[in-house]
Structure formats: structure tokens, C-alpha cells
Amino acid sequence: MNSDAILLLETVNFAAEKHRNQRRKDPEATPYINHPIGVARIISHEGGVTDIEILQAALLHDTVEDTDTSFAELEAKFGPIVSRIVQEVTDDKSLSKQDRKRQQVEHAAHCSRQAKMVKLADKLYNLRDLNRCTPSGWTAERVQEYFVWASAVVKGLRGTNYALEERLEELFRQRGVQL
Ligand SMILES: Nc1nc2c(ncn2[C@@H]2O[C@H](COP(=O)(O)OP(=O)(O)O)[C@@H](OP(=O)(O)OP(=O)(O)O)[C@H]2O)c(=O)[nH]1
Ligand SMILES: [Mn+2]
């Protein structure tokens, strides 16, 4: 097996251990790890991107935000580039939810190309998930608001990957949301 395959297995195993007790918000409480694996797969399978550091960052993208993982830990295990990409896509949890959402819109255009790829795939996965089923406790209005906010973030990510942007635009169009 080549070394990239070994490295990806190491990375997905680390993410699975970190997210082991977490579930998605859907009524079936899907294991959380399905999300980062799906985000990495969108990047490779739909985006056609095989850059190992982007795929690793996709697998790890919610570990700091949602588990006890630190950037120092990611840097020691996976190196400075992967750690930096995850940092770029991690919300500052000390901010209010409203400020976090606003920051994502403001920061999107200033991210590296690698972080933009992860962000595009993360939004694409989550929007498809919202079309598949509504998270427990979410109203139709909250779902629509997520689409509107996601479109404002994606606006700042444009010019990164044509295939992913096309698919996102189609989802926004179906919701009557203008990009
Ligand atoms: N659509 C969907 N989302 C779910 C589900 N379970 C967990 N999530 C996560 O919820 C987040 C979106 O919900 P919000 O209410 O907007 O954010 P919050 O987690 O800060 O409360 C996403 O986080 P994120 O990946 O960090 O992305 P972001 O939207 O915060 O950038 C998404 O991954 C689910 O079943 N469906
Ligand atoms: Mn995510």
C-alpha cells in the first residue's frame, strides 16, 4: 500500500476515535464520523482533488470545534499544513453563535485555497443532509435560514472548484436562494 493510503487510514482512525461518542442531529442519530468522511469523499470523488493534506484536513475539520482535540495535537501528529487548514475552518467558540456565523461570511474570501475546498464540501454535505431530513427540533424556517446563510459563505468561496460550486448553486436555486 502506498504511504498516502496509510496516512489517510491513520487520519480517519484519529477522527473516528475523537468523534466516537458524537451523533448527528438527524432523527436516526447517525454516527458523527459519517460527516467528515463524507466531506473528504466529496472533495476527492466530486471535486476531483487528491491533495492529501486537503483530504486529511477534511477528515479532521470538526475535531477541534467539536471534541477535546487541540491544534498542537494536530500539528504534532499530522504536521503544520493540515493543522493550519483545520484552524482556518474552525469557528471561534468563545464568540456568540451570531458572531460565529457572521465571521464565517466575512472570512470565507480570505481563506487559503485548501481551506476553501474543505468549506465548500462541508456546506455541500450539510445542505444535502438538510434536504435528506430535518435535524431534530429544527423548523422549516431554520432550515431555510441555513440555506440563506450558507449561500453568503459560499459567495466568498467562489472560483475554487467548478464542480462543487455548480452543485451548490443548484441547491440554492431549488430553494429560491440567490447566490
Ligand atoms: N444538516 C445537518 N447538520 C448537522 C446534523 N448534525 C449535526 N450537524 C451540524 O450542525 C451544524 C449546523 O447547525 P447550526 O445550528 O447552524 O450550527 P451549530 O452547530 O453551531 O449550532 C453543522 O456544523 P459544521 O459542520 O461545523 O458546519 P457549519 O454549518 O457550522 O459551518 C453540521 O455539521 C444533521 O443531521 N444535519
Ligand atoms: Mn462540518
What is the rounded distance in angstroms from the CA atom of residue 115 to the CA atom of residue 35? 17
**Residue 130 CA, closest ligand 1 atom number:** 1
Q: Phi, psi at residue 49, to the nearest 5°? A: -100, 130
What is the rounded distance in angstroms from the CA atom of residue 107 to the CA atom of residue 90? 11
What is the rounded distance in angstroms from the CA atom of residue 123 to the CA atom of residue 47? 13
| pLDDT higher than 90, residue 179 | no
Among this protein's residues, is 99 annotated catalytic?
no
What is the rounded distance in angstroms from the CA atom of residue 71 to the CA atom of residue 142? 31
What is the rounded distance in angstroms from the CA atom of residue 143 to the CA atom of residue 11? 31
Q: Tens digit of pLDDT for each residue in 20-77?
A: 999 999 999 999 999 999 999 999 999 999 999 999 999 999 999 999 999 999 999 9
List residues near ligand 1 (CB under 6 A).
24-26, 35, 62, 65, 97, 122, 126, 129-130, 135, 146
What is residue 40's three-state secondary structure?
A: helix
Residues with CB under 5 A from ligand 2 (ion): 62, 122
CB 168, CB 52: distance < 8 Å: no
Q: Tens digit of pLDDT for each residue in 98-123?
A: 999 999 999 999 999 999 999 999 99
As a whole number, mean pLDDT of residues 88-94 equals 97
Sorting pLDDT into bands at 50, 70 and 90, what band is 1? confident
